[in-house]
Amino acid sequence: MNTTIESPGASAAPAARPEESGISLTPQEFGVGARVTLAVMSDDYVNLILGALDEADATGLQVTTGDVSTFIGGAESDILRYLSQLIGAVGRSGAHLNAVVHLSRGCPGEVLCERPATAGPLPGTVGERILTGVPAVAEWALYPLEDGGRGDGAPDHMRDIYAAIDFSKSNGTYRSSEHFVTRLEGDVADILHTVALGWILVGRTVQHVTSHVTLSINSPSMSRTR
């Protein structure tokens, strides 16, 4: 199944879209990317992570490993495939792990967003979802960031956040609302699908959108994960 999120019409998205402004940006020029930290609660964590890196398909992606996280730049669907394969592979080892995923789009820089001011939102797709067979529990936060200075009417990001929550209910990953986060449960691929789709949904009307999710897998305190 391919799930494509279409950019809404100009009446729903007051900001200029790339095709309207004549600007054509690649996902990396638009700052589409992720950071992932794998923390494996085992003395053998180095081998488990290296083995998972061998299993994950990085086609189309820039992957740069650091000492806190690994940066992954590229199109949304490629990022999602890579994260799902990587996290699923470590999960299948049976070791307890946390995977911390940070998604960002629309702000290639750090403090200053160095995109063209008229870039506007950019549509994206989540691609094909392939189940990992690894159940997880997760805590998810989704952030539309205005960055000020647009001055062209407030985008309706609450509409898109509600749409993201509704999607998490429709695919069965939604569990509850907690302090600061939404709790998700399900196959690693389903959880990441929910998170990426929410990020892209809000990206229909807001240029700079980030999302943070922490997945817990094979926890001794996991009593039920579907």
Among 14, 139, 167, 172, binds its own copies (CB under 8 A): 139
Burial of 139 per CB tally in 10 Å (0-12, 13-18, 19+):
middle
Residue 149 makes contact with its own copies by CB under 8 A? yes
Q: CA 183 → CA 36, 133, 166, distances in Å?
A: 19, 19, 13
Binding residues for its own copies restricted to 81-120, rule: CB under 8 A: 96-98, 100, 102, 104, 107-111
Residue 216 makes contact with its own copies by CB under 8 A? yes
Q: CA 103 → CA 75, 111, 155, 203, 222, distances in Å?
A: 12, 16, 20, 12, 25
Count of other CB atoms within 10 angstroms of residue 66: 9
Task: Measure the CA–CA gap between 106 and 72, rounded to whole angstroms.
Answer: 15
Residue 40 makes contact with its own copies by CB under 8 A? yes
Among 21, 35, 53, 63, binds its own copies (CB under 8 A): 35
Summarize as ranges the residues that interact with its own copies (CB under 8 A).
31, 33, 35, 37, 39-43, 45-46, 66-69, 71, 73, 96-98, 100, 102, 104, 107-111, 137-139, 141, 143-149, 154, 157-158, 161-162, 165, 177-183, 210, 212, 214-216, 219-222
